[in-house]
């Protein structure tokens, strides 16, 4: 019987999302300490999303074509570490832009392939995915808290050492990941073009893009929104942490939920929660208890949505098409969707105000709900049989 390498897979997710927790909130402060302008900082940080538009698709195609998922995961870890190491010597925009692009291009390659690898190990127990993925959320929380505490006592450049050590951990775990056992008599996978011609696939991918776009204003302006309404930094940090704790709770419950509800039902619930969450986030910020409730909903709008989406991709992109399916999901949702949400919310924030900007996010979530409701049928997402 195949022994699940639980802790090695969990360790990869922990380090991968710990890097996000250390890099995203604090690397901009380091760039600011180098006297980069706001435009330069935005240009540098945007590389992480821009590279996710096409990087995962290229690496997913290579992995599916050559069947070398583990080799690419390890290569991505090594070059990501090398690209980040260059930041210790760089302080000019052209060089840092090149290093950031290299980091983002290779770093974005790994996660979709690790998702595919995880499901290959899980085989007939895909509902256990959430109990592995939850360690990514744990890593994020620990990294946010520890890095913040470190930077209270060290210069902003301290974030370089934290991120470098985490990337080193990613590479170390990647070298320990085992290949899944071969599948005997696996059916031939359909061509990727045949899969993408299915209306449910196109609707699902567009809905995932819409969900990420719905979160755009939240990820960029939520702290600014709360600060403008006299929330303290401690309260803001607590609300952010509460959202991730709720996400962890949902990941822990997904195995049980998946036995009771179809993927379609879980997706519809997550989109409905997002409509409510972002609508009230824009207009009900004066109520602290309401803000607490809305952060609890993050467990649905991100945790449940992501777990169900990953399972749907695993179901609908069989065999050697899984790598490209996971890459396409990553590119369209976190890449294109995130970029659309950030750019649109940034464009309308000053002119429309917070209320209408978050309402626009609720509109994106409503679009996603309608796409799933109309085009994704319940029988093709039966969790009890497929998840």
pLDDT digits (tens, 9 = 90+) for 93-120: 999 999 999 998 888 878 888 888 888 8
Average pLDDT for 337-365: 88
- For the domain spanning 192-387, the CATH number is 1.20.1250.20
The SS3 of residue 54 is helix
Judged against a pLDDT cut of 60, whether residue 165 lies above it is answered with yes
386 pLDDT band, cuts 50/70/90, is very low
Give just the sign of the alpha carbon dihedral 387, 300, 248, 28.
Answer: positive
Buried b (16+ CB within 10 A) or exposed e, 77-110: bbbbbebbeebeeeeeeeebeebbbbbbbbbbbb
Average pLDDT for 209-214: 95
384 pLDDT band, cuts 50/70/90, is very low
Annotated domain spans of the chain: 1-181, 192-387
Question: 1-181 and 192-387 share one CATH topology?
Answer: yes
Distance of CA 357 to the CA centre of its chain: 22
User: How many residues are there in the chain?
Assistant: 387
Would you state the pLDDT for residue 385?
40
CA 201/CA 214 separation, integer angstroms: 20
Judged against a pLDDT cut of 60, whether residue 387 lies above it is answered with no
* Host H or E run for residue 368: helix 354-375
CA 257/CA 129 separation, integer angstroms: 13
CA 176/CA 164 separation, integer angstroms: 19
pLDDT tens digits, 1-21: 467 788 999 999 999 999 988
Judged against a pLDDT cut of 80, whether residue 278 lies above it is answered with yes
Would you state the pLDDT for residue 152?
77
Percentage of the chain beyond pLDDT 70 is 92
Task: Give Cβ neighbours of residue 90 (< 8 Å, ≥ 6 apart).
Answer: 96, 99
Tokens coding 118:
């995880």
pLDDT tens digits, 224-245: 788 789 887 667 767 888 888 8
Range among 20-34, 189-203, 268-282 rated most confident: 268-282
Instruction: Pick the range with the lowest mean pLDDT from 28-32, 268-272, 294-298.
Output: 28-32
* Host H or E run for residue 363: helix 354-375
Would you state the pLDDT for residue 2?
60
Judged against a pLDDT cut of 70, whether residue 168 lies above it is answered with yes
CATH 1.20.1250.20 fits 1-181, yes or no: yes
127 pLDDT band, cuts 50/70/90, is low
Alpha helices in the chain (DSSP H): 6-33, 38-45, 47-66, 69-85, 93-122, 129-151, 158-176, 192-196, 199-214, 216-227, 233-260, 263-283, 288-296, 298, 305-316, 322-330, 338-352, 354-375, 383-386
Judged against a pLDDT cut of 60, whether residue 181 lies above it is answered with yes
């Amino acid at each position: 019987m195949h022994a699940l390498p639980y802790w090695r897979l969990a360790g990869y997710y922990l380090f991968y999302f710990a890097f996000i927790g250390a890099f995203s909130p604090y690397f901009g402060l380091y760039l600011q300490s180098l006297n980069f302008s706001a435009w330069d900082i935005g240009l540098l940080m945007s590389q992480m999303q821009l590279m996710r538009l096409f990087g995962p698709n290229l690496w997913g195609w290579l992995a599916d074509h050559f069947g070398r998922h583990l080799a690419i995961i390890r290569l991505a870890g090594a070059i990501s570490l090398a690209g980040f190491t260059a930041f210790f010597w760089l302080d000019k925009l052209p060089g840092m832009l090149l290093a950031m692009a290299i980091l983002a291009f290779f770093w974005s390659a790994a996660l979709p392939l690790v998702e595919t690898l995880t499901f290959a190990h899980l085989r007939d127990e895909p509902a256990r995915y959430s109990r592995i993925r939850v360690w990514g959320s744990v890593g994020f929380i620990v990294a946010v808290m520890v890095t913040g505490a470190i930077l209270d006592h060290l210069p902003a450049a301290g974030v370089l050492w934290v991120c470098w050590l985490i990337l080193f951990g990613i590479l170390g775990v990647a070298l320990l990941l085992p290949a899944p056992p071969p599948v005997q008599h696996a059916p031939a996978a359909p061509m990727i073009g045949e899969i993408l011609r299915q209306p449910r696939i196109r609707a699902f991918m567009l809905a995932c893009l819409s969900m990420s776009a719905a979160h755009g204003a939240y990820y960029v302006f939520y702290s600014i929104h709360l600060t403008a309404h006299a929330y303290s930094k401690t309260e803001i940090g607590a609300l952010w942490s509460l959202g991730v704790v709720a996400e962890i709770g949902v990941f822990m419950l997904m195995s049980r939920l998946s036995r009771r509800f179809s993927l379609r039902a879980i997706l519809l619930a997550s989109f409905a929660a997002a409509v409510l969450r972002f609508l009230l986030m824009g207009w009900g910020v004066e109520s602290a208890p309401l803000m607490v409730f809305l952060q609890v909903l993050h467990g649905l709008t991100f945790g449940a949505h992501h777990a169900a989406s990953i399972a749907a991709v695993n179901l609908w992109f069989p065999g050697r098409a899984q790598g490209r399916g996971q890459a396409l999901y990553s590119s369209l949702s976190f890449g294109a969707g995130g970029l659309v949400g950030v750019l649109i919310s940034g464009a309308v924030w000053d002119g429309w105000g917070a209320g209408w900007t978050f309402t626009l996010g609720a509109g994106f979530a409503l679009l996603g709900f309608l796409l799933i409701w109309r085009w994704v049928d319940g029988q093709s997402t039966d969790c009890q049989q497929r998840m």
